[in-house]
Structure 1
Amino acid sequence: MYRVKQFDTTVDLAGFSRWLRGQGVPHRITEEGGHQVLWLEDPEHAEPVLAALDRFLAEPELREAVEHQNQSAVFVRGRWQPSPRHAPLVLGIIIFAVVMVWVTSMGRNEVAAALMVIDPRSYDWTTMAGRVDGLASTMASGQIWRLFTPDFLHFSWSHIIFNSVMLWFLGSQVEWFDGRGRLVTLFLVTSILSNGLQYMVSGPLFGGLSGVVYGVLGYCWLSQRRRPRFQFPPALVTFAVIWMVVGFTALPELIGLGRMANEAHLGGFVAGLGLAAILPVRKK
């Protein structure tokens, strides 16, 4: 621990301490010889923490705002644990995806065809020329939604559960720290690139939120290097990249997992990295 500052015992630091915990800042407040001492685990936090503390002590209205925020903190003992009210957009996406699993009978009825990039019954998509013609005709008819709706096609409960868990864990952080506008941009761009690449390589018979999940992961990983704010184990990125590479081999089919939407994973990941590189980091 790094000793930051000493205060008189008459100074009430309880609210500020709760706020620090809510921001995921490891710290401790001890009593020594009739004084309070603030300790931080990371000395790089000292300057912004002291600046925030000065404002906290000097501005009564800020103390009231901090107490209000403490009541809805998204960190519990420094760990990211949001509730639905912290990321309603991500929750809405997940709920809609789960509903579509039921509506499409896991991609096995006619409704599923309306969610694919093109209607596979109306076009010859077995060749690249056929896929290009089918996509051009579909877009010209105004069915723009088909660029995004494959995200909501899932073919098993394990498929939707895994994607939902990952999207909630990472997407909720993007919505909270960087705002819903950034999350919407990330969702739209990664959907277009991941679904478009997968379609051009293999045709319309695919679906799932995994392209978006890979996009959010790529965004969080690269943007985190510019300004740390997201919580996820570094090994998660390594595992995801290795799994993406494995997907391009015959191993998943050999072990009974079937063919994976590898191009969607790659397209989403590249899109997420690109957005992290060009979009400014939101200061919150």
Structure 2
Amino acid sequence: MVSASVGFQCPDCVREGGRTVREARTIAGAPVRQAPGTGTNAVVTKTLIGLNLAVFVLVLAVGDDVVDRLMLVGRAIIDNNWAGVAEGEYYRLLTAAFLHQEAWHILFNMVSLWVLGPPLEAVLGRTRFLVLYLVSAFGGTAASYLIAAQNQGSLGASGAIFGLFGAAIVVGHRMKADLRPLIALLVVNLVITFLNTKWIDWRAHIGGLVIGAVTAVCLVHAPKNHRLAAQVVSVGAVVAVLVGIVLVRTSQLT
């Protein structure tokens, strides 16, 4: 027998009843986890933080050679050789988003990720949240690659973090939450960005913000009847646009 709120039930009755109960879903299609200990536990958020910290430790241990190999750069001479995305090193569009040199830089980004990540991961689910983060990061690096000078280096998770800001606003609006604190925090970060353009890649921040918001719209406004298919197609279209931007810029530089 299986313990129930009103006495006991036989296992067959429990299984039969389970077949008729539809699992509750969030606005993005993720399972609703309300009971203590059954949530996402921010597994993806913690993993992303761990990857960023691991790369930071690698930079501290190895030095500038890792930075030269992983940072975003369009086309430049590094170690007496042409290098960069335009030279076929497309991996830089992703690796740059996990790369930090200064302690204050990674501290700021990881604290922001820890604040924004778990709530979004709970609403979107692990897979969708990971897709959001990576597409936002790609949006930031693609924007920087398109606009910045070809030999200007860029690194950091800030593009992805701003993507989470954009996504949080979209999700909050969809859930009719009070967005004023979040918008105020975003405005403060944008002001800091544009007051320090000498050290901060504003292109990556704006690119990540826009793409993160657009990706979130694709995830939380997909029709329920064909939600997964609509999400895959719409997010795929966003990625295709970013790939097109990268290819156009590459043709310009080569």
Q: TM-score range by the shorter chain?
A: 0.5 to 0.7
2:85 is aligned to: 135
TM-score by length of 1: 0.57
2:49 is aligned to: 94
Q: Is the 1:123–1:134 Cα contact (8 Å) retained in structure 2?
A: no
2:135 is aligned to: 189
How many pairs are equivalent? 194
* Superposed displacement of residue 241, structure 1: 2.5
Q: Which one has a larger percent helix, Structure 1 or Structure 2?
A: 2
Higher Cα Rg, which structure: 1
Aligned ranges for residues 117-266 of structure 1 at < 5 Å? 117-118=72-73, 120-122=76-78, 134-138=84-88, 143-199=89-145, 200-202=147-149, 203-228=151-176, 234-249=180-195, 252=196, 259-266=199-206
Structure 1 residues 114, 228: closer, same or farther in 2, change over 3 A? farther
Structure 1 residues 135, 234: closer, same or farther in 2, change over 3 A? same
Q: In structure 2, list runs of 5 or more residues that go unmatched.
A: 6-16, 22-32, 225-254
Q: In structure 1, list runs of 5 or more residues that go unmatched.
A: 1-11, 13-58, 63-67, 75-84, 125-129
Q: Considering only aligned residues, what root-mean-square deviation do their CA atoms show, in Å?
A: 3.5
Structure 1 residues 233, 135: closer, same or farther in 2, change over 3 A? same
TM-score by length of 2: 0.63
1:71 is aligned to: 36
* Superposed displacement of residue 242, structure 1: 3.8
Amino acid at match of 1:86: N
CA distance in 2: counterparts of 1:104 and 1:87, whole angstroms = 26
**CA deviation profile, 1:150-186 (whole Å, cap 9, x unmatched):** 1111122121111111112211222222112211221
Higher RCO (Cα < 8 Å, 6 or more apart): 2
Give the % identical residues: 26
Moved over 4 A (4+): 59-62
**CA deviation profile, 1:42-92 (whole Å, cap 9, x unmatched):** xxxxxxxxxxxxxxxxx7999xxxxx9533166xxxxxxxxxx61111111
SS state at 1:105 partner: helix
CA distance in 2: counterparts of 1:60 and 1:191, whole angstroms = 40
